[in-house]
Amino acid sequence: MREPIDEIIAELGERGVVTEEAAMARHLDDMIGSTPVTPVAVLCPASTQETSAAVKWCARREFAIVPQGGLTGLSSGAVPLSNRKSVILSTHRMNRIREVDPLNNSMTVEAGVVLAEAKAAAEEVERYLPLSHGGQGSSQIGGNLSTNSGGNNALRYGTARDQVMGLEVVLPDGTVWNGLRKLRKNTAGYDLKQLFIGGEGTLGVITAAVLKLRPLPRNRVTAFAAVQSPEAALRVLRRLEAALGETVAAFELICRTALEQGLSAEGVVLPLAEPADWSVLVEVETPALSFDISAALEEGLAACIESGDVADAVIAQSVAQRQAMWRLREAIAVVFIEDKHSLKNDTAVPAGNVPDYIVNATAAVSDYLPGVRSAPFGHVGDGNIHFNLLRPETMSGPDFHDRHETLKKIVEEEALKLGGTISAEHGIGAIRRKSFDLSADPVEKDLMRRLRKALDDNRLFNPDVLL
Amino acid sequence: MREPIDEIIAELGERGVVTEEAAMARHLDDMIGSTPVTPVAVLCPASTQETSAAVKWCARREFAIVPQGGLTGLSSGAVPLSNRKSVILSTHRMNRIREVDPLNNSMTVEAGVVLAEAKAAAEEVERYLPLSHGGQGSSQIGGNLSTNSGGNNALRYGTARDQVMGLEVVLPDGTVWNGLRKLRKNTAGYDLKQLFIGGEGTLGVITAAVLKLRPLPRNRVTAFAAVQSPEAALRVLRRLEAALGETVAAFELICRTALEQGLSAEGVVLPLAEPADWSVLVEVETPALSFDISAALEEGLAACIESGDVADAVIAQSVAQRQAMWRLREAIAVVFIEDKHSLKNDTAVPAGNVPDYIVNATAAVSDYLPGVRSAPFGHVGDGNIHFNLLRPETMSGPDFHDRHETLKKIVEEEALKLGGTISAEHGIGAIRRKSFDLSADPVEKDLMRRLRKALDDNRLFNPDVLL
């Protein structure tokens, strides 16, 4: 093994090639917590050219390439392979912000830039990079784009895909595609970047991106409300959108079980007097200081109380109160991630079908396993309800774990029946590959295979992922 | 020829197959005005299944297939071929609005639905389909998506691509891909719809789409202002965005020559006392009736007058005044389209580079042809400046026409030097194919060829278009 390693050290330098077990350890698992596998090496190129050299070296040696960002994924899409010699291609050393251009409302960043750092750099020039999610303190731009990550404000700003103007990608033969355009409109040929966004690192590795920026919202109001039902939540959302328009940036639904999970975390408090069966967290934001969004939100919520859809509501009166509301929301996700015996799902259905989905999936899992606790919560405005499950109180964690596969299938099938998807924002990765294969339309799978073959005939990139 | 025609009549019925010259005439040219060529037939399937049958029939007979919508294109991307037997596949009979779903903020429409009709259907349920451009009274959804059309409010709402949740496509072998998802978030595999959006009918034919809807803007203010320069226009835009946020929906720049062209049309009047060297049309809109956008716009423009960027400004005080402002803007485009000797361009550059682009391109065309009149105008907010040209006053139309190719090349090269594109919103079509071939990155062309081959190995679909 020494000879090929020396070869790549000559290209990337000692810092760019990690082969010691201890140093590799932090590159072997994402937030899922699988059994770590040892790769041939972790390559850490510091530039696009070094990435190209790394890809060519892997291609010559027939090592599978697994691109890796901040490892905040939940689909085992960026971890070493157990069935084939693989190399981790970590983007963390490509972490330069190449340009922030406020006049063009854009920024050019390398794949290894941490999302929160990119957001901060935009804020320095009074611009907003809206992509926002729980992992943003360590997730990297390349990973966000490869997963097409979503988050809490996709309702208003779209997903990672919608923030991209241009990409730079190293293709499976090591060629660099420079598509770093700073353009909002371009119809010169197929929109190639769309393949790599959400491509889960199967078609090449993203090395840099041009991201769209917006004027910075300086006017923000957050509210927490008890709603009568998921149907009521949807009516409230549409009513607030009519009253507040494009300033409604987030609208999160939380069921009582999920709420209780969140409240079990340290330092988390309930913004209302009583926990409700269904709650929503609403955030409204705009750069326009002259718009009285607080009054408009208050009026909108008052109308919803009058109509009976909202039972109680509170508007945050300080930054601390606003942060407390979000701490509760984020704690729910964290508690589920930390509880290795809980079952996490990433389904979505058309927003209008969320109420039916919750009823149907709750009934279906209870039929299969009486006592199982459904904990649907998430982004109701875009239909992305995380239909998570907790074990029956009388069942052990490991026993419940044995039921995960069947329960996952039930939850996913109920989503598909309503025109939904098994993966809204986390990707297929390795963990949903089987579900995807069983559930996806054969025409669609055939198209995807043809595209993958056209770009990566040897399945060099992330072969265990997707299909 | 009779035998194969009978075969397809059996599938589509008499109404679905047009072969008489007179009846075919209206299907032979787009708004460019090229010399018409006669196709084998114009097929007008009334359903997705009939479209599939039509494609299979063409594939068997090796007729090239040219999908056609409302023929409002400006790139000869939907007209019969001169070098090969071709069939026009017109989508106009597939004109059903299958569903409008206000709770999901979506609508499902067939490819032949006229854009203005889709917009009206959305408005009936108090929703907004923002895609908006001069051809919307006859352009069809399928054509809008295949071209990825832009328009006047892409600054705020993006292009046609950004309005799509799902697609239904008949592939080159006649297979139907049903990707009619009503989802705002989906990371289950490659985002296949992106290939067909902006694919210019080269990879299959779009038969239906799920479009995103938004709350209907009821609060709208339009203003017309004289600005000191293109640089000043950009500063005004960013200042208004900071003050009015996401309510700034359109921001159009007009040079004096373009302004004069517009004013030459019947019934068009100047909103200001004097024509300026540079003018902008600003539109601000929101569903929120409680936001005083009129006061905010007035205040923003006043600050720009104070800073010296704006010389004079008027805010429309009635629907009639607003419409008059837009009539002027649309008249400019129409006058250029009607003047067959004018040279129309569809370049874009990064918005921040628009001022340099105007200076450089004006100098370059004047160097080549002294007296040529540059008439840049358009969507400065998204960088899409139509750098149109009028003949020198002393030159005849036909003589100027002979210089078109060289002038086009000069204008496009200046855009490319500044990181721009030769086609922002009209597509490559047949007319820019040579420019595209000469100017595009070989890596990019190779990727596009591989994708095209993967989906349409026999180049059945629109073979004269793109590459």
Residue B142 CB contacts under 8 Å (≥ 6 apart), including other chains = B67, B69, B91, B94, B110, B111, B112, B205, B206, B207, B209
List the strands of the sheet with A106-110, edge to edge.
Answer: A97-101, A106-110, A205-212, A164-170, A176-179
Q: How far is C-alpha A131 from the geometric centre of its chain's CA atoms?
A: 10
- Cβ pair A103:B238 closer than 8 A: yes
Q: Is residue B242 part of a domain?
A: yes
Instruction: State which of A191, A215, A239 marks the end of a domain.
Output: A215
**Considering only CB atoms, which chain A residues are within 8 Å of B462?**
none
Which residues form the domain of B392? 351-427
Same domain, yes or no: A107 and A210:
yes
ipTM score of complex: 0.96
Residue A402 CB contacts under 8 Å (≥ 6 apart), including other chains = none
The CATH number linked to B272 is 3.30.70.2190
User: Which SS3 state, helix, strand or coil, does residue B318 take?
Assistant: coil
Q: Is A249 exposed, middle or buried (0-12, 13-18, 19+ CB in 10 A)?
A: buried
- Cβ pair A195:B194 closer than 8 A: yes
Mean pLDDT of B187-216: 98
Mean pLDDT of B106-121: 98
Residue A125 CB contacts under 8 Å (≥ 6 apart), including other chains = A100, A102
Chain A residue nearest residue B347, CA to CA: A186
Same domain, yes or no: A309 and A240:
yes
DSSP state string for B65-104:
EEEESSS--SSS-SS--SSS-EEEEE-TT---EEEEETTT
Same domain, yes or no: B207 and B126:
yes
Query: According to the model, what pLDDT value does residue B377 have?
Result: 95
- Cβ pair A191:B348 closer than 8 A: no
pLDDT over 90 for what percent of chain A?
93
The CATH number linked to A375 is 3.30.70.2740
Please tell me the distance from the alpha carbon of residue B425 to that of residue B148, in angstroms, as a whole number: 7
Does pLDDT of B174 surpass 80? Answer: yes
Q: Is B62 exposed, middle or buried (0-12, 13-18, 19+ CB in 10 A)?
A: exposed
Chain A residue nearest residue B186, CA to CA: A424
pLDDT single digits (tens) B346-387: 999 999 999 999 999 999 999 999 999 999 999 998 899 999
pLDDT single digits (tens) B57-98: 999 999 999 999 999 998 999 999 999 999 999 999 999 999
Chain A residue nearest residue B237, CA to CA: A103
Q: List the single residue in A102, A245, A383 with the smallest CB-CB distance to B184.
A: A383
Does pLDDT of A6 surpass 70? Answer: yes
Does pLDDT of B127 surpass 90? Answer: yes
Q: Is residue A241 part of a domain?
A: yes
The CATH number linked to B39 is 3.30.43.10
Query: According to the model, what pLDDT value does residue A30 have?
Result: 83
DSSP state string for B106-149:
EEEEETTSBHHHHHHHHHHTTEE---B-TTTTT-BHHHHHHHT-
Q: Is B55 exposed, middle or buried (0-12, 13-18, 19+ CB in 10 A)?
A: buried
Domain count, chain B: 4
Same domain, yes or no: A407 and A320:
no
Q: Is B175 exposed, middle or buried (0-12, 13-18, 19+ CB in 10 A)?
A: middle
Instruction: State which of B338, B359, B376 marks the end of a domain.
Output: B338
Same domain, yes or no: B34 and B140:
no
Residue A419 vs residues A427, A438, B148, B385, B444: alpha-carbon distances, Å? 17, 16, 25, 41, 35
Query: Helices B397-417 and B354-368 sit at what angle, rounded to 10 degrees?
Result: 140
- Cβ pair B186:A217 closer than 8 A: no
Same domain, yes or no: B256 and B148:
no
Instruction: Write the single-letter amino acid at A426.
Output: H
Strands A214-215 and A205-212: unpaired
Instruction: State which of B67, B90, B113 marks the end of a domain.
Output: B90
Does pLDDT of A439 surpass 90? Answer: yes
- According to DSSP, residue A371 is labeled T
Same domain, yes or no: B142 and B173:
yes
Looking at every residue in chain B, the average pLDDT score rounds to 95
The CATH number linked to B161 is 3.30.465.10
- Cβ pair B185:A292 closer than 8 A: no
φ, ψ for residue A88, nearest 5 deg: -85, 130
Please tell me the distance from the alpha carbon of residue A57 to that of residue A62, in angstroms, as a whole number: 8
Q: What is the 3-state secondary structure (H, E, C) of B364-414?
A: HHHHHCCCCEEEEEEEHHHCEEEEEEECCCCCCHHHHHHHHHHHHHHHHHH
- Cβ pair B424:A183 closer than 8 A: yes
pLDDT single digits (tens) A158-182: 999 999 999 999 999 999 999 999 9
Q: Is residue B144 part of a domain?
A: yes
CB B138 within 8 A of CB B149: no
pLDDT single digits (tens) B438-449: 999 999 999 999
pLDDT single digits (tens) B296-315: 999 999 999 999 999 999 99
B349 φ/ψ sector (left φ>0, alpha ψ -120 to 50, else beta):
beta
Q: Is residue B360 part of a domain?
A: yes
- Give per-residue burial for B237-269: e unless 16+ CB within 10 Å, then b: bbbbbbbbbbbbbbbbbbbebbbbbbeeeeebe
Q: Is residue A243 part of a domain?
A: yes
- According to DSSP, residue A163 is labeled G
Residue B135 CB contacts under 8 Å (≥ 6 apart), including other chains = B31, B70, B72, B115
Same domain, yes or no: B323 and B410:
no
Please tell me the distance from the alpha carbon of residue A427 to that of residue A250, in angstroms, as a whole number: 21
Query: According to the model, what pLDDT value does residue A33 have?
Result: 74
Residue B271 CB contacts under 8 Å (≥ 6 apart), including other chains = B224, B314, B316, B321, B324, B325, B328
Q: Is residue A191 part of a domain?
A: yes
pLDDT single digits (tens) A333-377: 899 988 889 999 999 999 999 999 999 999 999 999 999 999 999
**Residue labelled with tokens 């793109």:** B466
Query: According to the model, what pLDDT value does residue A29 have?
Result: 85
Same domain, yes or no: A236 and A203:
no
Query: According to the model, what pLDDT value does residue A2 have?
Result: 67
CA distance A360 to chain B (A): 18
- Cβ pair A175:B443 closer than 8 A: yes
Q: Grade residue A1 by pLDDT with cuts at 50, 70 and 90.
A: low
Under 8 Å CB pairs connecting chains A and B tally to: 309
pLDDT single digits (tens) B379-421: 998 899 999 999 999 999 999 999 999 999 999 999 999 999 9
For chain A, the first-to-last Cα distance in angstroms comes to 30
- The structure tokens listed for B324 are 């008059």
Same domain, yes or no: A154 and A238:
no
**Considering only CB atoms, which chain A residues are within 8 Å of B178?**
441, 443
User: Which SS3 state, helix, strand or coil, does residue A235 take?
Assistant: helix
Same domain, yes or no: B265 and B278:
yes
Same domain, yes or no: B208 and B230:
no
